[in-house]
Amino acid sequence: MLGYSSGPQIAITIESIVITASAKSGNLYAWSKSRTDDIWKGPFRINDVDKSVEECLSSITATEDGQLFCTWIDTRFVEGVSHNIDANSKTNNKVRKTNDDLSIMTPIGITKKELYDKIGDIPEGSNLAFHDDSKGNLLWVFKDDEGEVLKAEDYNAYKEFKRINGERLKPQGKIYISSSSDGGESWSISNLVYKSPDGSVCECCKPSIESNSKGEIAIMFRNNINGSRDLHYTKSVDNGRVFSEPQKMGSGTWKINGCPMDGGGLASFDNGDFMTTWQREGVIYTANSNLNEQFVGSGRTPSISSYNGEIKIVYTSGDDVMVVQGSNSPAEKIGTGSSPKVISTSDGTLYLWVNGDGIQFEKFKF
């Protein structure tokens, strides 16, 4: 549960300290504490569809006015084994499954009862599922235990969904976001930020989220399009309601049949610009908001932080932990280990990593 940055995340607002963490159940939770006392509250579930954070990869940020934004790789809309489908092979019955828990929230933001009341006749013995169409809309479908369609909101859209996704059984990862304005005690209905046209983003690379001094929200994630697993960047200027069309980071592309399990990092400057770092084919790069890449060094698992206009980067090169102390500074070794992280504040920069002797750190003052 701790590998590849899938462990707990933390954000601090003017009033609260909030920690988020994924559980083996596939859910994402928050715990909240006022900065003036020692009592933790929670857990409060963030994802509104049960078991939809199965990859356990998330990130959280806080804006200057105290808003919290959490993003994650969401695995809702799981499809089972497909079968030959005949739209007229089954007849609809008016009997609802008696063991249904009608209070369960569905992916479209209403309970099963509300959905059933809206649909009307529900086929006997059917299983409710959801799929997306070419525009990202969620549509319902009822299937029997063998996977044959009994009733669908749009049967042609479902056939197209199956044509694109085929026999794929692995949950498809999409980028979702939710926000909180009360210190993490309640969360908004989660919204889709992005879904790959090929079905799934890179499933095992942690997404990053960051806010800037203008209140803008940026998200970086590793995509998966036509076999290329490149980092993409998207930004919202309206408090997370709408995000821009994601843009690929850097000039190169990485064709890889598998997940590199390396999501990179995202930081913001005082003037509102964002800076990113990521790995492509074993090389670390950075890029600012105009997406132009700059070479850092050979390595993986980079982490980035900024303060007062200066970026700090830490990454691993083999067993060596390497740091870059400024935009034009050369990389230098500070230790050996893995899973490095960096945080830069007014007091200095703190680098942390793990090796056989435990958690290690190095602090550099300005």
Is 257 domain-assigned?
no
Token readout for 2 is 């701790």
Give me the phi and psi of 299, to 5 degrees please: 165, -160
Distances (CA, A) of 283 to 249, 302, 313, 325: 14, 10, 14, 18
Q: Between vectors from CA 301 to CA 169 and to CA 25, what angle results, nearest 5°?
A: 40
Q: CATH no. for residue 59?
A: 2.120.10.10
Clarify whether residues 45 and 194 are in a common domain: yes
Same domain for 141 and 10, yes or no, is no
pTM of the full predicted structure?
A: 0.76
Number of residues written out for the chain: 366
134-181: pLDDT as tens digits: 665 678 999 888 888 999 999 998 888 887 766 545 568 999 999 999
Q: Which residues pair with 75 in a beta bridge?
A: none
Dist. CA 193–CA 173, nearest whole Å: 11
d(CA 340, CA 223): 23
What is the pLDDT at residue 97? 44
Q: Report the pLDDT value the prediction gives residue 98, as an integer from 0 to 100.
A: 42
Q: Which domain holds residue 142?
A: 79-170
Same domain for 193 and 159 = no
Residue 326 maps to a domain: yes
pLDDT at 342: 96
Claim to verify: residue 281 and residue 354 sit in the same structural domain: yes
Please indicate, yes or no, whether residues 348 and 210 belong to a single structural domain of this protein: no
Amino acid found at 272: G
CATH value at residue 358? 2.120.10.30
Alpha-carbon distance of 331 to 5, in angstroms, equals 23
Is residue 202 within 8 Å of 258, Cβ to Cβ? no
Out of 123, 155, 170, pick the residue that ends a domain. Answer: 170
Number of structural domains found in the chain = 3
216 and 72 assigned to the same domain: yes
24 and 111 assigned to the same domain: no
Tens-of-pLDDT digits for all 366 residues of the chain?
666 688 899 999 999 999 999 998 889 999 999 999 999 999 999 999 888 998 899 999 999 999 999 999 999 864 433 323 333 333 333 344 445 677 776 756 678 888 899 999 998 888 888 777 766 567 899 988 888 899 999 999 888 888 776 654 556 899 999 999 999 999 999 999 999 998 899 988 999 999 999 999 999 999 999 989 999 999 999 999 999 999 999 989 988 767 788 899 999 988 889 999 999 988 999 998 667 899 999 999 999 999 988 899 999 998 999 999 987 789 999 999 999 999 999 899 999 999 999 999 999 986
Same structural domain, 177 and 72:
yes
Taking Cα atoms as reference points, which of 307, 302, 262 lies closest to residue 286?
A: 302
Q: Is the same domain home to 176 and 119?
A: no
Same-domain check for residues 349 and 271: yes
In a domain? residue 165: yes
Q: How far apart are CA 28 and CA 41, in angstroms?
A: 15
* Domain presence at residue 345: yes
